Amino acid sequence: MLCRAALRSSSARLFSTSAARQTKVAVLGAGGGIGQPLSLLLKSDPLVSSLSLYDIRGAPGVAADVSHVDTASEVTGYPADKIDAALDGVQVVVIPAGVPRKPGMTRDDLFNTNASIVRDLATAVARASPSAHILVISNPVNSTVPIVAAALEKAGVFDPRRLFGITTLDVVRAQRFLAGIVESDPRQTPVTVIGGHSGATIVPLLSQSQYGKGIKGETYDKLVHRIQFGGDEVVKAKDGAGSATLSMAYAGAKFTNLLLRGLNGEKGVITPTFVRSPLYESQGIDFFSSSVELGLQGVEKIHPIGDISPEEEKLLAACLPELKKNIEKGKAFVAPN
């Protein structure tokens, strides 16, 4: 049995609590494989004062269950027809709603189903909580984030400082896989991952890591491949029962905590995330993941990618055209006014 101190310290490892203001957070898709553990982890985050759980199926049950956890936050579940009530007064909206992959599928194969789910949820946020920060998990992230932006733009409430594609799982994997090779502590093995969130668009900058810069040859190629295609490992192992849920819930809760710390005024909160970005705008790519400083308004500063190795130049060259296609597909889905 875990004692109270052990529970406190395991929660402290995931969540930093240095800031004071607390926040109402909504999870849209709270009944799903990611939504349920994500809701549980957010219930454990001291920066979350109130948790609003919404799904077209099962959210009141998940809320009743999670609400018994002995942390201070209030939890309410909302059924399918209560989206506006679920979003009332919410400052942060996390969206894991949508279908996951089965073996043999790409993330882009999810577009036909998930594009309309995400567009409709973004339209609801624009109506019910137009100044909320929106954190998109639903795949394909490279397209769903531009869809959310276009839906918000159509409603006249788009603020690029408040929209994030969560690419934290790529960072979590990069740190874990690299640490496994060099036998370091994964939490002390930071890796910046840039680009997007699918296959070749995922570009780990190992040359910028004190542990990663020495990795060469076949070991390097295998590590990069594993980071880019880590999602496939899970899809294959789950054998038709879905994709990463638990590690994604962890990554989603981690990113949400980082954003809340920035919103609370903590300085120097920097992490990769997929945002509206000027870095490759001249090449027609206006969404990109790079290290972003999070602050009182959300995106505070988008950092340049910095010096990269010749291998990483090649990875980036493969990333950009695919990312551009994914972004354009998302934008085209939401017809302008």
Respond yes or no: is residue 68 known to be catalytic: no
212 binds, among ligand LMR, ligand NAD, none (CB under 5 to 8 A by kind): none
- Tell me: is residue 162 an annotated ligand-binding position: no
Tokens of residue 288, six digits? 């990109």
Residue closer to ligand LMR, measured from CB, 6 or 237: 237
- Tell me: is residue 34 an annotated ligand-binding position: yes
234 binds, among ligand LMR, ligand NAD, none (CB under 5 to 8 A by kind): ligand LMR
- C-alpha to C-alpha distance for 63 and 108, rounded to whole angstroms: 31
Of 131-139, 198-206, 210-218, 323-331, the window that binds ligand NAD (rule: CB under 6 A) is: 131-139
Q: Provide Rg for the chain, Cα atoms.
A: 19
Residues in contact with ligand NAD, shown as a per-residue x/- string from 29 to 68 under the rule CB under 6 A? x-xxxxx-------------------xxx-----------
Of 24, 173, 197, 261, the residue at the interface with ligand NAD (CB under 6 A) is 197
Residue closer to ligand LMR, measured from CB, 124 or 137: 137
- Tell me: is residue 165 an annotated ligand-binding position: no
- Tell me: is residue 32 an annotated ligand-binding position: yes
Residue closer to ligand NAD, measured from CB, 233 or 313: 233
- Tell me: is residue 114 an annotated ligand-binding position: yes
Tokens of residue 85, six digits? 């009530």
Residue closer to ligand LMR, measured from CB, 51 or 135: 135
- For ligand LMR, the binding residues (CB under 6 A) are 100-101, 107, 139, 169, 231, 234-235, 243-244
Across the strands, what pairs with 109?
A: none
Binding of ligand NAD by 166 (CB under 6 A): yes
Residues in contact with ligand NAD, shown as a per-residue x/- string from 224 to 263 under the rule CB under 6 A? ------------------xxxx--x---------------
- The identity of residue 319, as a single letter, is C
Q: Which residues are annotated as a binding site for NAD(+)?
A: 29-35, 55, 114, 137-139, 248
Active site residues: 197
Q: Which residues are annotated as a binding site?
A: 29-35, 55, 101, 107, 114, 137-139, 173, 248
Q: Which residues are annotated as a binding site for substrate?
A: 101, 107, 139, 173
Interaction site with ligand NAD (CB under 6 A):
28-29, 31-35, 55-57, 96-101, 110, 114, 117, 121, 137-139, 141, 166, 169, 197, 242-245, 248
